[in-house]
């Protein structure tokens, strides 16, 4: 198959499906098939209109509130998670007792954490940042631990043989080998972070995409609610792209970035 045709199929097929769905939606197919009324499910053009109309408010909500909460919380949670992982690598006793608990925090639903955060930290941004930090902490602990711990034994022996200090082993061996794992955790974390920020805003908030979404649903302004969803999706893609860029800058040597396979 020629390269252009391959590229056409790779990009053209998904794009065609997307446009086709939008056209069918606008033509009322989903409304007819699911028995929905106009006020239950807005049309794509109505959503586009709402986006064009309120893009300034949505952008402000997305960047200054929800996006900031997600990024600040992720940085905080990831930093604490990495430190804990390093601690678990250094202290075997902690590894046995605390690592499984840290990993189990993955399964605590955020809807249980968000109301507690509001109780302690109020309705403002700190409570959202705390929830995000808590959610992103667990994947980082598990991944960073794997990265720091699964160092090649021969490399460790080599470092020993040249009398490398503990600090040198960490900086020159453990840290570089952990970075790919750390970025994997950050990529999972950034999506979790956005979910965390949005869902905490559902419980109570002053501003943000989550509270905009839930307020507009309660007053049945569906096009604007959908516009908030679109904005949240765009924010998710943008933040994910940022993490990927950082990854590429930090570990350009990693196998996943090599062109030839």
Scan for tokens 């920020």, then name that residue. Answer: 197
Determine phi and psi for 49, rounding to 5 degrees: -65, -45
- Asked if 111 interacts with another protein (CB under 8 A), we say yes
Measured from the CB atom, the residue of 164 and 187 that comes closer to another protein is: 187
Q: What is the distance, to the nearest Å, from the Cα of residue 80 to the centroid of all Cα atoms in its chain?
A: 17
Measured from the CB atom, the residue of 32 and 220 that comes closer to another protein is: 220
- For 12, the enclosing helix (H) or strand (E) is helix 3-26
Which of these segments, 54-62, 78-86, 116-124, 168-176, binds another protein (CB under 8 A)? Answer: 116-124
Contact of 67 with 231, CB cutoff 8 Å: no
As separate numbers, helices (DSSP H) first and strands (DSSP E) second, the chain gives: 12, 0
- Asked if 101 interacts with another protein (CB under 8 A), we say yes
Q: Which of residues 35-74 bind another protein (CB under 8 A)?
A: 36, 40-41
Q: Which of 9, 38, 53, 160 binds another protein (CB under 8 A)?
A: 9
What number of chain residues touch another protein (CB under 8 A)? 75
Measured from the CB atom, the residue of 173 and 235 that comes closer to another protein is: 235
Q: Which of 57, 59, 87, 103 binds another protein (CB under 8 A)?
A: 103
Burial per residue of 92-122, b for 16 or more beta-carbon CB atoms within 10 angstroms, e otherwise: eeebeeebeebeebeeeebeebbeebbeeee
- Asked if 181 interacts with another protein (CB under 8 A), we say yes
Measured from the CB atom, the residue of 32 and 162 that comes closer to another protein is: 32
Smallest gap from Cβ 158 to another protein, in A, equals: 22
Q: How many whole angstroms separate alpha carbon 220 and alpha carbon 146?
A: 47
Which of these segments, 57-65, 75-83, 155-163, 201-209, binds another protein (CB under 8 A)? Answer: 201-209
Q: Which of residues 117-176 bind another protein (CB under 8 A)?
A: 118-120, 139, 142-143, 146, 149
Q: How many whole angstroms separate alpha carbon 142 and alpha carbon 140?
A: 5
Task: Return the number of other C-beta atoms located less than 10 Å from residue 205's C-beta.
Answer: 25
Smallest gap from Cβ 254 to another protein, in A, equals: 9
């Amino acid at each position: 198959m020629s390269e252009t045709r391959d590229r056409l199929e790779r990009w053209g097929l998904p794009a065609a499906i997307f446009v086709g769905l939008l056209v069918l939606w606008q033509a009322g197919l989903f409304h007819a098939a699911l028995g929905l009324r106009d006020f239950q499910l807005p049309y794509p053009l109505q959503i586009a209109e709402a986006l064009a109309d309120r893009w300034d408010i949505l952008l402000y909500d997305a960047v200054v509130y929800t996006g900031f909460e997600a990024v600040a919380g992720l940085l905080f949670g990831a930093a604490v998670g990495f430190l804990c992982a390093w601690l678990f690598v250094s202290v075997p006793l902690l590894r046995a007792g605390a690592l499984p608990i840290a990993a189990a925090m993955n399964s605590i639903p955020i809807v249980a954490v968000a109301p507690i955060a509001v109780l302690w930290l109020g309705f403002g941004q700190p409570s959202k940042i705390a929830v995000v930090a808590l959610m992103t902490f667990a994947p980082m602990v598990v991944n960073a631990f794997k990265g720091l711990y699964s160092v090649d034994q021969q490399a460790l022996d080599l470092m020993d043989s040249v009398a490398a200090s503990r600090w040198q082993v960490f900086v020159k061996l453990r840290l570089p080998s952990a970075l790919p794992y750390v970025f994997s955790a950050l990529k999972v974390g950034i999506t979790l972070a956005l979910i965390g920020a949005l869902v905490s805003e559902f419980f109570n908030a002053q501003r943000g995409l989550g509270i905009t979404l839930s307020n507009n649903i309660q007053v049945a302004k569906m096009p604007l609610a959908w516009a908030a969803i679109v904005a949240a999706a765009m924010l998710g893609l943008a933040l994910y792209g940022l993490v990927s860029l950082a990854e590429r800058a930090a570990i350009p040597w990693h196998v996943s970035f090599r062109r030839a396979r």
